Amino acid sequence: MTRRSSSITIYDVARQAGVSVATVSRYINKNTPVSPEIAKRLDEVMTDLRYVPHAVARHLATRKTRAVGLLLNKLHNDFFVSLLNGVEAIIHQKGYNLIVATYHAKGPGQMNPPVGPHNTDGLLVFSDSLLDEDLANLNASGFPMVLIYRTPPCSLAIPSVTVENVETAHKLVDHLIRVHGRRRIMFLRGPAHQEDSIQREMGYKSALQANGIPFDEHLVLDGDFERAVAYQAMDHYLGNGGQVAFDAIFTGDDDAAIGVLRALHEHGLKVPEDVSVIGFDDQGFAPFLSPPLTTVRAPTERVGQIATERLFGLLENHQMNEAFILQTEIVFRRSCGCESIS
């Protein structure tokens, strides 16, 4: 029996037709021609599956709301202040309203996101706030959106804006090894499926490999890019005798560094004399931590600005499909062992 059309997704159509999701999306949106053979096959499959490509969303999208949505999976640390400042600056210039909402993508049966085609003209999607399947379906409906701090799935033509992570993380960890002689470097992972966390771990591992240091899974903790989570993980590790000795910590981001520094202090470890600590993002508080934090200056506010500019480009019918990657730079301060403070 054919499933009800409401449960059929663009992935089902692509799978049965033997083509990519991107091909189905191009055919539905009519923005790039496909061969007559593929067009016929897709028509037959969509008819057989009774697939309706978000006709309601298409209709609603033609009704201008003069509002743009920003979908986040959380909104409770200092990182988002800079991001929101960048987004809001462009929104204000354009005379639009901004609707900010949090949403935790969990899969089938979940309520629809609070922002989207029903109440906005376009959407900024942070990291993994939406599942790949949701992104594919929105893209197939022709709804304008830009991804922030992640790349699009399945080669879909969705513009994205992020920062360079791998090379800079490699250089930062390499600095600990070559300049400060650290060999037992701990890493605090961010959220499991977040690209920033994955890429920073790639840079961490590549620096170890380049210096002949074996990767040790026991030196990796879950910090979740959250100070409270990082503190608990570090406190638990040290409270259990620190199963593996370490002499440096790459905290994954600056917010986690706050929790790590507190745990180290409570357990009598001095930074940087006993343990070097490095972060990522160069948030406003980083120079004022004790000691000041060596980190990576990431242009978070600029990410928000560019992503919003690109969204308005889509709203004005310009082609904005490519990925945009902003460069980052290391800021050396006392926490790694450097004397200079910048």
With b for 16 or more beta-carbon neighbours within 10 A and e for fewer, the 124-144 pattern comes to bbbbbbbbebbbbbbbbbbbb
Note the residue count of the chain.
342
CA angle centred on 24, ends 19 and 26, rounded to 5°: 125
What is d(CA 242, CA 232) in angstroms, rounded to the nearest whole number? Answer: 13
% pLDDT > 70, the chain: 91
Residues 284-300 have a mean pLDDT of 96
* pLDDT at site 3: 47
**Domains of the chain and CATH, by start:** 5-48 (1.10.260.40), 63-163+301-327 (3.40.50.2300), 166-299+330-336 (3.40.50.2300)
Residues 192-201 have a mean pLDDT of 95
Q: Order of strands, edge to edge, in the sheet holding 323-326?
A: 97-102, 67-72, 122-126, 145-148, 160-163, 323-326
| CA-closest candidate to residue 297, choices 271, 326, 340 | 326
Task: Please write the tens of the pLDDT for every residue from 78-103.
Answer: 899 999 999 999 999 999 999 999 99
pLDDT surpassing 70 at residue 340: no
Residues 251-271 have a mean pLDDT of 97
pLDDT surpassing 60 at residue 115: yes
Residues 21-28 have a mean pLDDT of 81
Which single residue is written with the structure tokens 């090894």?
177
Give the torsion sign (CA, 201, 203, 204, 205).
Answer: positive
CB contact at 8 A, 203 and 165 = yes
Q: Order of strands, edge to edge, in the sheet holding 248-250?
A: 220-222, 185-189, 248-250, 276-278
Q: Using a cut of 0.85, tell me whether the model's pTM lies above it.
A: no
